[in-house]
Structure 1
């Protein structure tokens, strides 16, 4: 480790030789190069969507030409919205940097504290700085989020939330985020301040521990603040899931259904938990005909919530839901989650080492207008968001490639347990229910899709199924 740190320190020493202005525009240019690459990929995908095609052979039994056209138009609108939103964010971020918003905001944070008699409290000033930034980010994002849900998604029949639900949801998300962020940031800054030369080890251990803690706390205490969860009712599906879990020795503790239909018509399934306390969560939109309000005489206590529309033509049959869960069990059996967690912790350690080598270099702060002071929070922002952006892009691509490989392996796990045919049918139905356009640009898909396309998955399942 000492050799690695020494090598990296020599490598980063060139930063001290670069003029602050040159360094600033160099980092800004780097972010724009990455952004333009993303826009190029999105352009390729948009051009792919513009071409009208016929229904692929694999989907002719579930999709009509009219449905294919609807999914194509939905895909076009989504990527066009994403492009406009990202361009706006990039231009806004660049303008704010050019006018010196970071040093102004830091100074404003100090001025706010001075009115309350606080002076030279970097940690408290950093928290005020973070709260202001997060508040601005939330408020600035509301129009975009509103348009996405109440115009784009509602136009295509996916948005199920009311406006009051949306407002309450936004406020709750912001409050929960602040509640989690403020103490974590405060302790992290304190660890960096008092941790000595090897503070990065303590900082890494702290953030890793917090990540695990939130992974445990969130589904049990935070997620229920936003969505309604109930145990899966007794019946054929529940029995089949328990039998499958017992067969492969999956440590199943509970099975929940989340009322995703109060928010969106999209569907999903996942499991969470550590050791012998695994819990499965199914979206009610995944299960054909399932209604979390069944046998209820009244609506939810929330007057603004909607009773989900019971659309019997959507969702999966019990054997198809079981096949989807068998795929998820495959991730557990093949230790994919453990591998991903290990990679994330190794990556976290690496970036903390890099941060330790860079955050005291005055040139970085000078480049962003901090000539008199070098706040740790600013160092974190500059290094994580700008200096490490090329590294993050490469890592993201590698993880995407790995994720696609894991998805094929999980599909194969379901196939070996004789769930290949219902899994194929479930993939087709999910493709239809989520109005996913089956054709994608090759390069865009390879760079962005953490899951293979449905056509790739069906192709991988088909020959093995015939053996």
Structure 2
């Protein structure tokens, strides 16, 4: 039996634990002469590795032009070709947008863009009557300018993805006006959350003393719990319309299934995802005894809005979208799942809850957050870290957070991301098995095929690319697992 040891988390012990890591960071990244260039080289190396994996997958997209024999019974050649072309376009777009992003980031580092923007933020705060002692105020101005720059430079890529790629393949349902309003709304909502949270976090770090990293971690934990609690009720409705699932057979079956596994379901919503995209999804949220399920209308095969009497009512344009901007929904194809298949999909989702996957992911996330803040407490005092990024005369806390979390931790973040991807795939297989044990194997089998078809998922993947990038197992692997158990 493994023994359990207590861990000393004092600042001194943390410094001892991380001394080797600090030496390595100093040797390769934090030298005064080449810190930022060294980080650029590391970033480019990781980008090239990712690009190499994407090249392998693009070869699959280009060379696999006929339906493999084992897929012949579940996918026709027309759908196979559509999904191949869609994924090829997405992969090419990802390559060019990623190349631009890496080039932009490298130039910002090499040309001193971060200290330049910090200086601009300082000039603006001085004009407003705040001196250099108001570091938090300057940090908020810097953060606003940085996010605005990111939004502006990312806008053309987002427009191309939405109105060229998604439009070309029949997924986009947005008008240009709707898209711009949505983008502005996202930006302002993000600022309303980001700026207060950041200011409080910086304040906690400054007054927290030797144990500030514990208080900072507890604060971010509280913020994440609050955001998870309020997101679906107060934030998501700002962007999409949520309505209660009408009374009927489907709602009764969902409630019965939830009751059978003691899932504390309180409400079932349908979100009008179809006004922006034809992609489909389902999820649940909430804490303790207040769980809610959300179904995308694109997931439901025969869904239409209902009024209180249960009669279908004509679709009305949203209040923020004029009738001239409303787009007709495509009628050339039928998509979504029937009721038994929807129940199978929800059986899979509820399996994540019953098997504790949500709690496990949260624990892993918070352990990682605590580790990162602990290491941040050790590294934030290293003056050479700031000098390497052009901050010779000051050590702003926000800049330290950005440098350490975004750049210094980047190799660790890549490794963690891969480990979480592996874990996610394991959880997906377990959730599939849970739905199977509920007697919904055949329904889940057909639902996975339908959803793959509706979303134009390509069922053939390079094993290296799949292993590194796919948080869900490829379709064939999931179908084989369901089929093998069924045969037993």
Map of 1:113 onto structure 2: 125
Distance 2:233 2:224 in 1: 15
Secondary structure, aligned partner of 1:160: coil
CA contact (8 A) 2:300 2:336 kept: yes
Greater alpha carbon shift after TM alignment, 144-153 vs 310-319: 310-319
Map of 1:128 onto structure 2: 141
Distance 2:87 2:281 in 1: 19
Shift of 1:16: 5.6
Distance 1:246 1:307 in 2: 39
Shift of 1:10: 5.1
1:358 aligns with 2:379: yes
CA contact (8 A) 1:287 1:317 kept: yes
Shift of 1:61: 3.8
Distance 1:258 1:311 in 2: 22
1:260 aligns with 2:260: no
1:78 aligns with 2:90: yes
Secondary structure, aligned partner of 1:21: coil
Shift of 1:58: 5.3
CA contact (8 A) 1:62 1:429 kept: no
2:470 aligned to 414, 424, 449, which one?
Answer: 449
Map of 1:195 onto structure 2: 208
Residue deviations 1:73-128 (CA, integer Å, cap 9, x gap): 11110000000000001001111211111111111101011111110110000000
1:412 aligns with 2:422: no
Map of 2:403 onto structure 1: 382
**TM-score (normalised: structure 1):** 0.97
Distance 2:403 2:60 in 1: 36
Secondary structure, aligned partner of 1:256: strand
CA contact (8 A) 1:15 1:363 kept: no
Residue deviations 1:213-270 (CA, integer Å, cap 9, x gap): 0011111100000001001111111111111011111110100000010010000000
Alignment of 1:19-30 (within 5 A): 19-30=31-42
Secondary structure, aligned partner of 2:33: helix
Shift of 1:434: 0.5
2:367 aligned to 340, 346, 351, which one?
Answer: 346
Distance 2:239 2:204 in 1: 32
Map of 2:317 onto structure 1: 299
**TM-score (normalised: structure 2):** 0.93
Change (3 A) 1:75 1:117: same
Structure 2, unmatched stretches of 5+, are 1-8, 307-311
Structure 1, unmatched stretches of 5+, are none
Map of 2:341 onto structure 1: 320
CA contact (8 A) 1:45 1:444 kept: yes
Distance 1:61 1:13 in 2: 58
Residue deviations 1:266-294 (CA, integer Å, cap 9, x gap): 00000000111110000000010212374
Shift of 1:412: 0.2
1:392 aligns with 2:413: yes
Map of 1:288 onto structure 2: 301
Map of 2:19 onto structure 1: 9
Q: Alpha carbon RMSD of aligned pairs, Å?
A: 1.5
Distance 1:14 1:332 in 2: 41
Shift of 1:60: 3.0
Map of 2:393 onto structure 1: 372
CA contact (8 A) 1:59 1:428 kept: no
1:333 aligns with 2:343: no
Secondary structure, aligned partner of 1:253: strand
Greater alpha carbon shift after TM alignment, 181-190 vs 11-20: 11-20
Map of 2:4 onto structure 1: none
Distance 1:269 1:311 in 2: 24
Residue deviations 1:174-196 (CA, integer Å, cap 9, x gap): 00000000000000001111111
Residue deviations 1:360-417 (CA, integer Å, cap 9, x gap): 1000110011001111111111111110000000000000000000000000000001
